[in-house]
Amino acid sequence: MTEEKITNDVFEETEQTTEEIEPVALDMETKNQQFDEDVEKVLELLQNGDYFDTRSLLLSYNEVDIAEIFEEILDELSIEKAIIAFRMLPKNVAVEVFSYLPGDDQVNIIDGITDKEIAFIMDEMDFDDKIDVLEELPANIVDKILDQTPREERKLINIFLNYPEDSAGSLMTPDYISLQETMTVKEALAHIKQQGMDSETVYTCYVKHGGRELEGIVSLSALVTADDDILVSDLMHKDYVYVNVYDDQEEVAEVFKKYGFLAIPVVDNENRLVGIVTVDDIMEVIEEETTEDIERMGGIVGNEPDDKYLDIGVFRHVRNRLPWLLFMTVMLMITGSLIAQFEEVLSQVIILVAYLPLLMGTGGNTGTQAATLIIRGLSVDEVDLKDVGKILWKELRVSIILGIVLSVFNFLKIVLVDGQSPLIALTVAFSMIMVIVFAKLLGGMLPMLAKKVGVDPALMATPMISSLTDMVSSCIYLLTASILLGIAL
Amino acid sequence: MTEEKITNDVFEETEQTTEEIEPVALDMETKNQQFDEDVEKVLELLQNGDYFDTRSLLLSYNEVDIAEIFEEILDELSIEKAIIAFRMLPKNVAVEVFSYLPGDDQVNIIDGITDKEIAFIMDEMDFDDKIDVLEELPANIVDKILDQTPREERKLINIFLNYPEDSAGSLMTPDYISLQETMTVKEALAHIKQQGMDSETVYTCYVKHGGRELEGIVSLSALVTADDDILVSDLMHKDYVYVNVYDDQEEVAEVFKKYGFLAIPVVDNENRLVGIVTVDDIMEVIEEETTEDIERMGGIVGNEPDDKYLDIGVFRHVRNRLPWLLFMTVMLMITGSLIAQFEEVLSQVIILVAYLPLLMGTGGNTGTQAATLIIRGLSVDEVDLKDVGKILWKELRVSIILGIVLSVFNFLKIVLVDGQSPLIALTVAFSMIMVIVFAKLLGGMLPMLAKKVGVDPALMATPMISSLTDMVSSCIYLLTASILLGIAL
């Protein structure tokens, strides 16, 4: 099926031609290219006021793609054009597209449409998406929306808005299917048929006991493959996995990764079911948490999860990068002062300076390798605090082997290629082993220590490791030199 | 519901006591603690030969957890004990547990059980899990298993084993539900009821046209909420999103992340449906790809996706870390030789050496920040090759501001705290701005360039950036010094 065919499907009158088109499954690159071209076409059509074709081209895409096209419209054309295009969408599509837009674009759309339209969109959105939108909007608009919301729902919205950011509570939706233990499969399916449309997922159903206490879960696949008169209580799993409403979203993501669930129940401290989290929301959490980790490992702090590089202003970029840079500058200044203490050694054997970067760089590089492995290992639960002994023992052996290999390599190069005295070469080689062992042990230990005291291990990556190893490497090297070369400090 | 209750649920005779236990929903930390304690208990029980209690404690957990306990048994006790425990599991549980074990542990189990037991497990496993196991096993065992497989399935297995590693084909399963356009909802549900048990997922069903060409998809939620006599053709989506069997698994993961699907059809070049990929397998892919990226950014290459830090031998650790270290050592040697060219300048003004780490370190740190943002941006599709101009323009402005802030800070510190001459301070300050601008532009550009020529941008992180900036930083600094201080080279 070609993209053209998909495009044509929207119009009933062209349906009959689809049979003639040779089916060709496009690979990802061709599909992406086609999409980029179509985005350009939409911008052009919309600019020229050709609304009929704009609409049909837009509607040939999935709502997620349409939202992406709207981001482009808002970036490249104007808010007015975006509002015009938005109003051309069928209402149910408009609601979906709206929920996929980034926060600031949602505010732009809200500002441009009528109160009645806002009320419609809010009413039709999934509950968890609605909460996300309300969290982004300015207070005056939120008040306006809540005024038009029925009292019961307003109460629920306020409860959900109060769950801590990054908690399971902030991810969940109250729109799930509840069943009774005593229902038969037939009754359960009839109930799902009636309730399903308003539900975030129908694929996992929740069996509640008494008031709201969660008794067990039953999957729709178990229901549809069972006979009509079997009881829900016979199909349900009572050993379900749940999360607590105050559990951190990162821990919730770990549970999804581990078990491969499509949805997971969220309960309060009294085991009452308060909502469910679905896998699609967790995919976003995983991506956000990974981005945060990677940025911290690269010495950047303060980016919000949905900030995009190009959308962040120059001054915000500066603010997010400056803290680590200042810290590292101070560390490097200290390193410099330490080196200045060895002025006597350096001025007598100036060639030592040429190997200073080698020692400092090797310390940073080898330490970073170890820290990277441990930080990632901690974040995917491969290593644990109790493994600290095993880790240090492994890093010790690895560092000794690496140290010997690299120092022999350097010794030979310094003597044979640079033509320096064996004593200088020995100074570099000996320091190098010491530096590598120190750096590997530091890189292996620091992330564990951070985790132990409740600091994000990702902060113990390159910036921190290289700052510390720079300091220690230069001291080890120059101290070794002063001893081996017999120069008093 | 407490963990105790879950434990008891296995035995019918203790069921009546569960009502009396006060429900308390445990938070993640308590649950993890409880699990760790239970693992210890299982090891002890199994060691003491108390098989009855071992079994009931094991069965109180989810299959994923049981597999984790088996990893501990294999690590801490012996293969024999693991086999004994494995044989105590109900057959359906044993199959699930087996499929969740890491490759080497699967081989251990296979080695210890009878051919008949192997055949049973293989027969009951999901098709995609079976392929994963066969890929891990030694050739002689694979042959033994294939000998006992019916001819039709053997053919299919061989096709699947031949899809390139990391392609959509290697992730997919052929066990999906096929429907006909002309079926009514009632007929479709009856078909699902009959076929569902052997299917990887029943939540998305595939409508095929003629032979195997994919016509559209229909969700189970649409089917169960529709009236009995509606036709499948009225419910199905023809504008489905698909992937090609040879698409890279990273691209497939992008599609899942973007659209939030539970399953996605995989078609060949003639648009024939050959399998489906489900979201649980994609979660693993995302984790593996992220780990690979992070490791490459930290200068480690060659780890396999399911290698765990502690399971990798010392020599494999050395081998995975040495290539980058050697590359960086050579780069640092070149930097050293360049510095040696400035021997005259350095010997005249030895204090310059004290600020060399500052300049080199700042170059590495600022370059790493930019590279980290761009590498991550490329991997989550936030920035694109066409944005190179915007990125460089943004980095230029950011680097000028950061450069001014840091160089003023350093100028003042060098004059006021270190008591050095303003000319030395000016040398450092001026070089610093140059270094930061260069490093930021390099960090912004190098990952884009890598992507352009088809190299993984993650390889352009700290190790590469800092090697290059070290070299350039020291030259800029010492050249500036020789000019400002009027010392001929």
Closest chain A residue to B391, measured at CA: A310
Asked whether B466 and A364 are in contact (CB, 8 A), the reply is yes
- Three-state SS for B22? coil
> Do residue B346 and residue A343 have CB atoms under 8 angstroms apart?
no
Chain A interface, mutation test: which of B220, B320, B338, B376, most A Cβ atoms within 10 Å? B376
CB-closest option in B6, B300, B325 to A373 = B300
CA A279 remoteness from chain centre: 14
Tell me the pLDDT tens digit for each residue of B109-150: 888 888 788 878 888 888 888 888 887 777 777 877 777 777
> Do residue A329 and residue B193 have CB atoms under 8 angstroms apart?
no
CB-closest option in B244, B325, B406 to A329 = B406
B193 vs A contacts (CB less than 8 Å):
224-225
Burial of residue B385 (number of CB atoms within 10 Å: 0-12, 13-18, 19+): exposed
Residue linked to tokens 């709206």 = A98
> Do residue B298 and residue A373 have CB atoms under 8 angstroms apart?
yes
- A481 phi/psi in degrees, rounded to 5: -60, -45
A213 vs B contacts (CB less than 8 Å):
23
CB pairs under 8 A between A and B: 391
Q: How far apart are CA B357 and CA B352, in angstroms?
A: 10
Distance of residue A430 Cα from the nearest chain B Cα, in angstroms:
15
C-alpha separations of B14 from A217, A236, A277, A302, B362 in Å: 21, 18, 32, 53, 66
> Do residue B268 and residue A25 have CB atoms under 8 angstroms apart?
yes
Q: How far apart are CA B74 and CA B82, in angstroms?
A: 6
Residue A211, pLDDT score:
65
Distance of residue A85 Cα from the nearest chain B Cα, in angstroms:
21
C-alpha separations of B389 from A310, A351, B384 in Å: 11, 42, 11
A333 vs B contacts (CB less than 8 Å):
358, 410, 413
- Would you say how long chain B is, in residues? 489
Tell me the pLDDT tens digit for each residue of B56-97: 888 888 888 999 999 888 888 888 888 888 888 888 888 889
Q: Strand A273-278 to strand B177-179: parallel, antiparallel, or no bridges (unpaired)? A: unpaired
Chain A interface, mutation test: which of B352, B368, B413, most A Cβ atoms within 10 Å? B368
Cα atoms found within 13 Å of the Cα of residue B54, Cβ hemisphere only: 23
C-alpha separations of B251 from A196, A285, A423, B454 in Å: 32, 19, 54, 15
Q: How far apart are CA A91 and CA A71, in angstroms?
A: 19
Distance of residue B140 Cα from the nearest chain A Cα, in angstroms:
31
Asked whether B241 and B264 are in contact (CB, 8 A), the reply is yes
Q: How many CB atoms lie within 10 A of CB A438?
A: 20
Token readout for B72 is 């501990």
CA A444 remoteness from chain centre: 24
Residue linked to tokens 């950014």 = B297
Which domains occur in chain A, in start order? 3-171 (1.25.60.10), 177-279 (3.10.580.10), 309-484 (1.10.357.20)
Confidence of residue B17 (pLDDT cuts 50, 70, 90): very low
Asked whether B133 and B102 are in contact (CB, 8 A), the reply is no
**Residue scoring higher pLDDT (B297 or B239):** B297
The H or E element spanning position B473 is: helix B462-484
CB-closest option in B284, B294, B470 to A357 = B470
Closest chain A residue to B263, measured at CA: A262
Asked whether B282 and B248 are in contact (CB, 8 A), the reply is no
The dihedral built from the CA positions of residue B40, B46, B47 and B50, taken in this order, carries a sign that is positive
Q: How far apart are CA A383 and CA A372, in angstroms?
A: 12
Q: How far apart are CA A48 and CA B357, in angstroms?
A: 58
Nearest to A100 by CA among A143, A45, A63, A140: A63
Token readout for B63 is 């299959």
Q: Where are the alpha helices (DSSP H) in B385-460?
A: 388-412, 422-452
Q: How far apart are CA B69 and CA A300, in angstroms?
A: 38
Mean pLDDT of B291-310: 84
C-alpha separations of B74 from B62, B77, B82, B107 in Å: 19, 6, 6, 12
Distance of residue B456 Cα from the nearest chain A Cα, in angstroms:
16
Residue B2, pLDDT score:
38
Asked whether B145 and B247 are in contact (CB, 8 A), the reply is no
Decide if pLDDT at B5 tops 50.
no
Token readout for B200 is 């990887």
Mean pLDDT of B26-31: 80
Q: How far apart are CA B368 and CA A325, in angstroms?
A: 11
Decide if pLDDT at B431 tops 90.
yes
Residue A12, pLDDT score:
35
CB-closest option in B193, B309, B397 to A314 = B397
Q: How far apart are CA B445 and CA A463, in angstroms?
A: 21
CB-closest option in B280, B333, B361 to A332 = B361
CA A3 remoteness from chain centre: 31
A302 Cβ contact list (under 8 Å, min separation 6): A316, A319, A320, A323
B351 vs A contacts (CB less than 8 Å):
340, 343
Closest chain B residue to A311, measured at CA: B382
Q: Encode burial over B284-294: b for 16+ CB neighbours within 10 A, e otherwise.
A: bbbbbbbbbbb
Chain B interface, mutation test: which of A258, A294, A315, most B Cβ atoms within 10 Å? A294
> Do residue A24 and residue B269 have CB atoms under 8 angstroms apart?
yes
Distance of residue A144 Cα from the nearest chain B Cα, in angstroms:
31
> Do residue B27 and residue A246 have CB atoms under 8 angstroms apart?
yes
> Beta partners for A278?
A263
A248 vs B contacts (CB less than 8 Å):
28
Residue A401, pLDDT score:
95
Lowest mean pLDDT among A9-23, A456-470, B25-39, B208-222: A9-23
Distance of residue B370 Cα from the nearest chain A Cα, in angstroms:
9
A61 vs B contacts (CB less than 8 Å):
239
Nearest to B370 by CA among B340, B402, B337: B402
Q: How far apart are CA B170 and CA B282, in angstroms?
A: 12
- Would you say how long chain A is, in residues? 489
Nearest to B464 by CA among B296, B225, B273, B290: B296
> Do residue B354 and residue A337 have CB atoms under 8 angstroms apart?
yes
Q: Annotate chain A with three-state secondary structure.
A: CCHHHHHHCCCHHHHHHHHHCCCCCCCHHHHHHHHHHHHHHHHHHHHCCCHHHHHHHHHCCCHHHHHHHHHHHHHHCCHHHHHHHHHHCCHHHHHHHHHHCCHHHHHHHHHHCCHHHHHHHHHHCCHHHHHHHHHHCCHHHHHHHHHCCCHHHHHHHHHHHCCCCCEHHHHCECCCEEECCCCEHHHHHHHHHHHHHHCCCCCEEEEEECCCEEEEEEEHHHHHCCCCCCEHHHHCECCCCCEECCCEHHHHHHHHHHHCCCEEEEECCCCEEEEEEEHHHHHHHHHHHHHHHHHHHCCCCCCCCCCCHHHCCHHHHHHHHHHHHHHHHHHHHHHHHHHHCCHHHHHHCHHHHHHHHHHHHHHHHHHHHHHHHHHHHHHCCCCCHHHHHHHHHHHHHHHHHHHHHHHHHHHHHHHHHCCCCHHHHHHHHHHHHHHHHHHHHHHHHHHHHHHHCCCCHHHHCHHHHHHHHHHHHHHHHHHHHHHHCCCCC
Asked whether A348 and A487 are in contact (CB, 8 A), the reply is yes
Residue B397, pLDDT score:
94
Distance of residue A152 Cα from the nearest chain B Cα, in angstroms:
26
Packing angle, helices B28-47 and B51-59, rounded to 10: 160
Q: How far apart are CA A247 and CA A264, in angstroms?
A: 13
> Beta partners for A214?
A208
> What one-letter code names the amino acid at B298?
G
Asked whether A417 and A354 are in contact (CB, 8 A), the reply is no
Distance of residue B144 Cα from the nearest chain A Cα, in angstroms:
31
Burial of residue A10 (number of CB atoms within 10 Å: 0-12, 13-18, 19+): middle
> Do residue B9 and residue A291 have CB atoms under 8 angstroms apart?
no
- A17 phi/psi in degrees, rounded to 5: -80, -15
Q: Strand B273-278 to strand B204-209: parallel, antiparallel, or no bridges (unpaired)? A: unpaired
Burial of residue A141 (number of CB atoms within 10 Å: 0-12, 13-18, 19+): middle
A209 vs B contacts (CB less than 8 Å):
none
> Do residue A308 and residue B268 have CB atoms under 8 angstroms apart?
no
A196 Cβ contact list (under 8 Å, min separation 6): A177, A202, B221, B224, B225
Q: Per residue of chain A (489 residues), what is the pLDDT tens digit?
A: 333 333 333 333 333 444 444 556 677 788 888 888 999 998 988 888 888 888 888 888 888 999 999 988 988 888 888 888 888 888 888 888 998 888 788 888 888 888 788 878 888 888 888 888 888 777 777 877 777 777 778 888 888 888 888 888 888 888 888 888 888 988 888 888 888 777 778 888 888 877 678 888 898 888 888 888 888 888 888 878 889 989 988 889 988 888 888 889 998 888 888 888 988 888 888 888 888 889 988 888 877 777 788 888 888 899 999 998 999 999 999 999 899 888 888 888 888 888 999 999 999 999 999 999 999 998 888 888 888 999 999 999 999 999 999 999 999 999 999 888 999 999 999 999 999 999 999 999 999 999 999 888 988 888 889 889 999 999 999 999 999 988 876
> Do residue A350 and residue B347 have CB atoms under 8 angstroms apart?
yes
C-alpha separations of A254 from A282, A383, A387, B32, B463 in Å: 9, 14, 20, 12, 30
Q: How many CB atoms lie within 10 A of CB B12?
A: 8
Token readout for A242 is 């749940």
Asked whether B81 and B47 are in contact (CB, 8 A), the reply is yes
